[in-house]
Structure 1
Amino acid sequence: MIKIFSSFRIKILLSHLDLYVLIAVVFSCTSTFGQKTLNLEEFGIQDEKDVTPIVVKALEKCQEEGYTKIVFPQGTYHFYPTFAPERYCEITNNDNGLKRTAFPLINFNDFEIDANGSDFIFHGKMIPFIIEESSTLKISNLSIDWEVPFALEGLVVARDSTSHTFDIKVDSPYLVQYGHLYLSLEREDSPYEKTYGKRFATMEHYNLEVGQNIFWDPKTMAPLYNTRLYNMPEKGINAVELDKGLVRISTNINTLPPLGSVMVSKGEYLQNRTSPAFRVFKSKELIFKDVNVHHAGAMGLIAERSQDITLDGFNVVLREGSGRMITTTADATHFCNTKGTITIKNCIFENMLDDATNIHGTYVRVNKIIDERTLAVETFHPHQNGYLFAEKGDLVRITDQHSLQPKTEAILLTKVERVNEKIAYLTFEEPISDKVNVYDGVDNTTWHASALIENNIVRNNRARGFLISSSGRVEVRNNRIASQMAGMRISGDLKLWNESGPIDGLIIEKNTFINNLYGGNKQAVILIDPEIEQSEFIPNQFYHRNIIIKNNEFYSFDSPILKAISIDGLIFKSNKIIQSDYYKPIFPDEPNLTIIHCKNVDLKDNTYISLTGEQKDLTVYKNQNTIK
């Protein structure tokens, strides 16, 4: 598919023309060992209420005059969308649209941004960094936050079992209108005024109906234990404002939330992933060093069609003293259709409303067979509209819609023609019409990454720790994972998200898994579950290959440790399971290890220590399709 972007539109309405004169003449630069550095200290950036136009102009100067580094004096800087350039972005697994940014890093090469430990505070719907068609970039020493968060947090202060309602105390901006509760991102007008004091530009009104809710426990700073009991529907949430900041909620909830819990809402589905902190597209050799994302209205970082990315000390963490429960409203990090090596090390990911990281490809579905060499394919999930699946010269293979088994080897694409955001034509080097059916999947084998994930901490987030679906070699070592659902999930599906990437070489070693699964979802600490119906299993054919899980420690209050489906070559050895009493078991009768339709399975030298300190045997279930 071919991305079609609007031209970069920079809307500058400043009446303060002297500011631009100042910018033109006051940029200071130094040159050290061949590096030409632009230092922003000299032109009063710390005194500006909105630094967006200054930064945009500085980046333009860097590109035009060959600067290789830009340096911020340490400070706190506020970025507003009023004078931000905008670009239409189709961002996989996020909301597409016209996006404003303070850092339009388009066609930047061999460039560095060093913020010297500064805080960047954003306002309204912005993507702080848009990085496209760039290479050899380093971004370091900064923190990103929003003054007004993209999630509503309300303390449960009362509940009534008779009327089946509960009351929340809300401090963050909100709006109750026509019986519905809305998030509101608007707090103040534009910082710019006309000479006579009349405002000529105001912030857009950002109101989003409450939806996708979860309850948090302020004692643990994590989702409530057995959170599924308090699931709320997406629709039919009625609200009445009893007093300023006090709202009564009535809805079809199974169990009223406990007093003192916090209702968290990130807004209506398919409209609440507007503002990731970093958007990376068609770029390579990127380093993010010592970066904190305290909040974002989507993912902390989303990278697609890119390669060789390193996150070192890229932390998605709560700002100390903020009083908030939530960092990012979606994944901390996400990598789709990437290649080369993804390195994630020395990071902390906490309090997200989704996973710590997800590395995967994406199947497109066959919509129509045009001729013997041409298919019309489509994206499936709405968050994949406009997704750049492939370009001429990529290798792709066709996958059976039911068994998820490949129906072809990798075949070269000689032409890719985009029709619209959902449909594209793929032309193959060789005939394929007799090898494919409508609704089969097509996987891009050129764009599967290897990954090194080590020395990270994952804690207090909704959903999982690491999701891996990539055919490159992946090593996951020395991490501490305490997520609400599975600590790791390795899947693959042609049902909803259509995430591709059969594993062929994964090692999970020397990690510590701490009290996962407390959300009440029937999973396992390590969940390997390509979404294949058992009736569709093909004898001696498997989805994943060569997975080694060894020398890990599992502190677990519940029974399921490993669930493994459709693997040829599974080793689970020398792992230590220590029974915990941190929570009450939710699924105590489930086996510790569940093995379904696997081959070459080796389970040995594992220990299970009970609450009394006694060593127990692991309980194991293997179905009849499993071959030693």
Structure 2
Amino acid sequence: MLVVNGLTCASTIISIEDFGLKPNTGVDTRPFLKKALRACQGRNDIVLVFPKGRYDFYPDKSNENDVLKRPATLGIHLKGLNKFTLDGGGSEFVFHGKMEIAHIEDCDSLTMRNFSVDWDRPFISQGEIIGSTDSYLDIKIDKEAYPYEVVDGKVYFIGEDWKLPVMTMYSTLYNKETKEIAYNSLGDIFEKPVEEISEGVLRFHGKPAIQVEPYTTIVSLFHVRYFATGIGVTNSRNILWKDIKMYHSLSNGFWGYRTENITMDNASVVVNDAKGRYFSSVADASHFSECGGTIRVLNCAHTGQADDFINVHGTSVKIIGRVNQNTVMAPVEGKGSGRSVQIGDEYWFIKQPEAQRGEVGVVADKKLSEDGSFYYVSFDKPVPEAIGNGDFMECKTWCAAVEIRNCKIQKRHRARGILVTTPKKVVIEDNYFSTAGTAILIEGDFDYWYESGANTDVTIRNNTFDNCLTSGNRDGSRSQWGEAVITITPSHIPSTVDMEPYHKNIRIVDNRFYVFDVPLVRAVSTRGLYFMNNQIIKTFDYRPYTWQKVSFLLDGCRDVKIRNNSWDKRYTERSVAVEHMRLSDVQTDANDHFVIKELKGIDTHMQW
């Protein structure tokens, strides 16, 4: 059987050249692509091929002066396509200005493959720290790659039809030689007054959060945050992203919402090393909310993104009052809003103090209040009498299973590795972790982000954790990047030794932990936590710094087993600290000589 680019001749192959577009011309790809996609509508088993080369994508013109208020132009819109493949043929897709790379909508069995994505002028700039004192930071900028001007003590970086300042919070420090996140690097001073002290050298006045050795550290400077998704998908099923290199995006690189079955295979958000960069996307490499089926992430190795490797979660909706026995009110704006609620969805009702999934209701109606401040959400049967203002509901219809295998989750990106909260089966297996923050974070919160999903079946198996947590939680702030190599911190904190935990059945087995510091696991409100058959190897590659000084810090956990592990003699800490637990809730091997003790007088909750 004849195969072309991994595709059999059972498919009809169409070239973008058939619609008048040739590579390497610099013209806008979008008009030609729209013609091609119109020709594909209503047909199955179509492969749209791009002959190898460079293809440019330009935004719509706008009279709006404020670039941040303009709507992002969509580069590739794939809507209503079935059994369709977009094959880039190894091409470069280069975007300009404020653009969303691609959006998949109402599609079934769709593949995007074989291309890279970049911007000639990204919405991140970078420079080298060449001076650092207690009162200022000097940064050398390549003005040709990252042009700027200083006006009234503020620097504005210049791009293609945009001029923007440095945003606070997300600026990131990198080791110049390794391109890894600098050890213990948190915080910045780039909101302070600035002056250009010589051509291409900016002095930011103020006390840096940390001291760095000049000429060893690179800083990335962000100009937007959560601005426009990279490649997104909504209301679709059976999506495959394969052999893609995304060098830049203006928010999350790959994003999915209410879509069933998504696979990423060697589809990575990566630094464009050839251009001397240290950064890639503006936010998470991948982020999936209220999806279904199974999310598979295989053979991916993200670098340079400004937030986590992946985040998979559901959504909790706040209940702000009851109207009658079948109807509750939910806010329109803010976190925990009812915007995503749709008629026909199933929801669990959850009483806030206990945080346990209760009865299930089906949404029968949803209406906006007259003043537009909240929704009336009505169900097919009476809402439990105990549910009222301050409680919440969690979508049951849209929950995804997760498989993450053979990935590299490295120290070359900001924040954490894998974030996952879902009641469906989760397998994290055969991966390599070397993260700046916690390698795996399992939360489930209803007090800040409202990213829901009490886990019921998680297996973390046969992974290597290599000196993770080099920039984690040093002093107990929730906003830092995790307390232990594996961190389980839902909002729910049991108030007694008998209260039922939030998460269930988390197995950490057959892994290798190379650790320079003490904390291995921080876990809150988990029943059935098993840390078994792991190897713990002590390293001396970094200086210990974390605030957690015990191997296992547990709060409100039940049925904890720390058994059959192999401990390096140089890793001398053998401690388990517990809160809201009985000492008998933890089982260890006698020959490991663990000390299990109650933790008193220390606030470990770190609520927002």
State the TM-score bracket (shorter-chain normalisation). Answer: 0.7 to 0.9
| Aligned equivalent of 2:79, options 106, 112, 130 | 106
Match of 1:289 in 2: 242
**1:232 counterpart SS class:** coil
Change over 3 Å in CA distance of 1:560–1:76 after alignment to 2: same
Q: Distance in 1 between the 2:426 and 2:531 partners?
A: 16
Match of 2:23 in 1: 46
Match of 2:589 in 1: none
Q: Is the 8 A contact 1:394 1:413 kept in 2?
A: yes
| Aligned equivalent of 1:515, options 467, 471, 475 | 467
**1:45 counterpart SS class:** coil
Query: Post-superposition shift, 1:220?
Result: 2.4
Q: Distance in 1 between the 2:209 and 2:9 partners?
A: 65
Query: Post-superposition shift, 1:62?
Result: 1.9
Paired letter, 1:168 = I
Match of 1:226 in 2: 184
| Aligned equivalent of 2:38, options 32, 53, 60 | 60
Deviations 1:485-525 (A, max 9, x none): 10000011112111100001000000011111111414000
Match of 1:179 in 2: 153
Change over 3 Å in CA distance of 1:245–1:623 after alignment to 2: same
Q: Distance in 2 between the 1:587 and 1:210 partners?
A: 28
Query: Post-superposition shift, 1:359?
Result: 0.5
1:232-247 to 2 correspondences below 5 Å: 232=188, 236-247=191-202
1:245-256 to 2 correspondences below 5 Å: 245-256=200-211
Q: Is the 8 A contact 1:118 1:141 kept in 2?
A: yes
Paired residues in the alignment total 556
Match of 2:409 in 1: 458
Are 2:45 and 1:71 equivalent residues in the alignment? Answer: no
Match of 2:167 in 1: 210
Query: Post-superposition shift, 1:149?
Result: 1.5
Match of 1:492 in 2: 444
Change over 3 Å in CA distance of 1:539–1:588 after alignment to 2: closer
Paired letter, 1:427 = S
Change over 3 Å in CA distance of 1:286–1:83 after alignment to 2: farther
Query: Post-superposition shift, 1:418?
Result: 5.1
Match of 1:141 in 2: 114
Q: Is the 8 A contact 1:560 1:592 kept in 2?
A: yes
Q: Distance in 2 between the 1:262 and 1:402 partners?
A: 45
Query: TM-score, normalization: structure 1?
Result: 0.83
Paired letter, 1:524 = A
Change over 3 Å in CA distance of 1:126–1:410 after alignment to 2: same
Are 2:303 and 1:330 equivalent residues in the alignment? Answer: no
Are 2:516 and 1:577 equivalent residues in the alignment? Answer: no
Query: Post-superposition shift, 1:279?
Result: 1.4
Match of 2:453 in 1: 501
| Aligned equivalent of 1:262, options 218, 222, 226 | 218
Q: Distance in 2 between the 1:421 and 1:325 partners?
A: 44
Match of 1:36 in 2: 12
Change over 3 Å in CA distance of 1:465–1:381 after alignment to 2: farther
Query: Post-superposition shift, 1:262?
Result: 1.9
**2:39 counterpart SS class:** helix
Change over 3 Å in CA distance of 1:250–1:310 after alignment to 2: same
1:115-134 to 2 correspondences below 5 Å: 115-134=88-107
Match of 1:565 in 2: 524
Q: Distance in 1 between the 2:572 and 2:166 partners?
A: 51
Q: Distance in 1 between the 2:417 and 2:332 partners?
A: 26
1:328-407 to 2 correspondences below 5 Å: 328-378=281-331, 381=334, 388-406=339-357
Q: Distance in 2 between the 1:336 and 1:154 partners?
A: 34
Deviations 1:246-270 (A, max 9, x none): 2111135333443121222223xxx
Q: Distance in 2 between the 1:357 and 1:379 partners?
A: 27
Q: Is the 8 A contact 1:553 1:575 kept in 2?
A: yes
Q: Distance in 1 between the 2:246 and 2:373 partners?
A: 32
Quick check: 371-380 or 617-626, which moved more? 617-626
Quick check: 594-603 or 206-215, which moved more? 206-215
Paired letter, 2:544 = P
Query: Post-superposition shift, 1:367?
Result: 2.3
Match of 2:478 in 1: none
Change over 3 Å in CA distance of 1:396–1:562 after alignment to 2: same
Q: Distance in 1 between the 2:431 and 2:69 partners?
A: 33
Q: Distance in 2 between the 1:519 and 1:112 partners?
A: 41
Change over 3 Å in CA distance of 1:409–1:425 after alignment to 2: same
Match of 1:14 in 2: none
Q: Is the 8 A contact 2:136 2:207 kept in 1?
A: no
Match of 1:625 in 2: 581
**2:34 counterpart SS class:** helix
Q: Is the 8 A contact 2:493 2:525 kept in 1?
A: no
Query: Post-superposition shift, 1:159?
Result: 3.0
Q: Is the 8 A contact 1:108 1:133 kept in 2?
A: yes
Q: Is the 8 A contact 1:365 1:380 kept in 2?
A: no
1:429-440 to 2 correspondences below 5 Å: 429-432=380-383, 434-440=385-391
Query: Post-superposition shift, 1:122?
Result: 0.8
Query: Post-superposition shift, 1:125?
Result: 0.9
Query: Post-superposition shift, 1:575?
Result: 0.6
Identity of aligned residues (%): 28
Match of 1:155 in 2: 128
Q: Is the 8 A contact 2:90 2:115 kept in 1?
A: yes
User: RCO higher in 1 or 2 (8 Å CA, sep ≥ 6)?
Assistant: 1
Query: Post-superposition shift, 1:57?
Result: 2.2
Change over 3 Å in CA distance of 1:505–1:422 after alignment to 2: farther
Q: Distance in 1 between the 2:372 and 2:466 partners?
A: 42
Change over 3 Å in CA distance of 1:159–1:71 after alignment to 2: same
Q: Distance in 2 between the 1:405 and 1:233 partners?
A: 42
Q: Is the 8 A contact 2:101 2:249 kept in 1?
A: no
Q: Distance in 2 between the 1:428 and 1:375 partners?
A: 9
Change over 3 Å in CA distance of 1:479–1:181 after alignment to 2: same
| Aligned equivalent of 2:269, options 316, 333, 340 | 316
Quick check: 148-157 or 113-122, which moved more? 148-157
| Aligned equivalent of 1:449, options 371, 396, 400 | 400
Match of 1:416 in 2: 366
**Any stretches of 5+ residues in structure 1 without a counterpart?**
1-30, 85-94, 187-203
Q: Is the 8 A contact 1:412 1:429 kept in 2?
A: yes
Q: Distance in 1 between the 2:490 and 2:548 partners?
A: 23
Q: Distance in 1 between the 2:516 and 2:353 partners?
A: 35
Q: Distance in 1 between the 2:149 and 2:316 partners?
A: 40
Instruction: Compute the RMSD of aligned alpha carbons.
Output: 2.5
